[in-house]
Amino acid sequence: MTQVISNRRLFSTRQMETVARKRLPRAVFDFIEGGAGSEIAVTRNRVRFDEIALVPRALRDCSGASTEVTLFGRRYAAPFGIAPMGFADLVRPGTDRALARAAQERNIPYVLSTAATTSIEAIRDIARENLWFQLYPGTDEAMATALIQRALRAGVETLVVTVDIPVPAKRVRDLVNGLAIPLRPSLRTILDVARHPAWLYRAARGERPAMANFAESKGGLSGLAHAEFVSRQLSCAALDWQRLERIREAWPHHLVIKGILNPEDARIAAKLGADGIVVSNHGGRQLDSAPAPIEVLPEIRAAAGEDLTIILDSGVRTGDDIARSLALGADFVLMGRPFLFGVAALGLSHGPAATIEIFRDELLNTLIHLGCASPGVLDRRFLWPRQPGRAAAQAAEPGESLARSAPKPAIRH
């Protein structure tokens, strides 16, 4: 049954964010928290979650409730994983490794970013079968193919191909702080870093961050020159579905396309043979006028059908948000920023595990409140205003007349 861990000081991801804000230099915190443009999409991601009410069912025996789910043939402890995040070691050297370790120990997926500063092979030794790899196909197809081969050799079974950065985003906070490539930190940024000696000390003692997943493919380049080179490679305005078809042919295991917001694209992804999609606006970090993934999710589920695995990210901050996502048609969710704030607030050994446990405890608590013994029971009938459920879930409840409730849109705005 859900238990608060006794030695923990922080009980919500919001609290972790508040502590992280104090611990991290402003430029690093802004890099993580910030979004594109006026940050409308970042706000929208949260607002749309908060609008969704879930209606509990009373008197359903949930004494054996569990958060476990099966995804791509594997049993996971909960229906969520850690989203890919480049430059995560900016929080603290060793962040990628610490997240991977916690994911392995607590049996959730860890998605290593192309832009991580730790190599696929190093993380594979830690995360083992819980490792997924995220690929930016980028401009250089040969380089992407080399990364796919490395992921294959490392035994990765799920490849996540991110398609929502046709061009680098305009992130105003990073521009103001001088945290852009080439790096030109403002005087304010330099002074602020000096005011965070603990962060500075760890950064100075740790390995110098380098683009570890490109070291092999572009030997010789390191440090900033490397980061600049790689950032030019990652975005690609010329990317098209033919390129995705070639990736599908090259990748024999589970393939997930990340950054889908349009139902038509979800349909194409399914037709192309993708096993799943991540409905995502990149945490509001790319297109500022993008819709929140949670509000397009019902249409995407309707377009994609029941066979395509739908993963959602962007703005998930509580167990209730996970339940809301599953009720609206997602099979699984990813969280990004909360894990980095967890590391900043509680350190490498406690932060990642505490963040996973907060999400898992909250989800279990929510499931039991709703009268759901497992995440798979959640469907649209838990939404208010009442919705018709998915066919399979309806069959599970004989005698319940769904006709009594008039179908209405899940989220109105």
Ligand X SMILES: Cc1cc2nc3c(=O)[nH]c(=O)nc-3n(C[C@H](O)[C@H](O)[C@H](O)COP(=O)(O)O)c2cc1C
Nearer to ligand X, 112 or 268 (CB): 112
Angle between helices 241-250 and 141-153 (to 10 degrees): 30
Binding to ligand X in span 209-248, by CB under 6 A:
none
Q: How far is CA 376 from CA 70, 332, 367, 396, in A?
A: 10, 10, 10, 12
Residue from 196, 282, 350, 369 carrying the catalytic annotation: 282
Residue whose C-alpha is closest to residue 141's, from 257, 253, 256, 243: 243
98 binds ligand X (CB under 6 A): no
CB–CB of 157/254 below 8 Å?
yes
With CB under 6 A as the contact rule, the residue among 24, 316, 327, 383 that binds ligand X is: 316
346 binds ligand X (CB under 6 A): no
196 assigned to active site? no
Least distance from ligand X to the Cβ atom of residue 160, Å: 7
Which value, in Å, is the radius of gyration of the alpha carbons in the chain? 21
379 binds ligand X (CB under 6 A): no
158 binds ligand X (CB under 6 A): no
At which residue do the structure tokens 């916690």 appear? 102
CB–CB of 174/88 below 8 Å?
no
Least distance from ligand X to the Cβ atom of residue 300, Å: 16
Least distance from ligand X to the Cβ atom of residue 163, Å: 9
Angle between helices 187-194 and 197-205 (to 10 degrees): 90
337 binds ligand X (CB under 6 A): yes
26 binds ligand X (CB under 6 A): no
d(CA 408, CA 299): 13
286 binds ligand X (CB under 6 A): no
Of 97-105, 193-201, 276-284, 352-360, which part binds ligand X (CB under 6 A)? 276-284
113 binds ligand X (CB under 6 A): yes
134 binds ligand X (CB under 6 A): yes
Residue whose C-alpha is closest to residue 227's, from 183, 187, 283: 183
351 binds ligand X (CB under 6 A): no
d(CA 264, CA 296): 12
With CB under 6 A as the contact rule, the residue among 71, 115, 247, 294 that binds ligand X is: 115
* Pairing of β 332-335 and β 80-82: parallel
With CB under 6 A as the contact rule, the residue among 20, 24, 32, 123 that binds ligand X is: 32
Supply the DSSP symbol for 10: -
d(CA 275, CA 127): 22
Catalytic residues: 282
Residues contributing to the site for ligand X (CB under 6 A): 32, 83-86, 113, 115, 134, 162, 258, 280, 282-283, 285, 313-316, 335-337
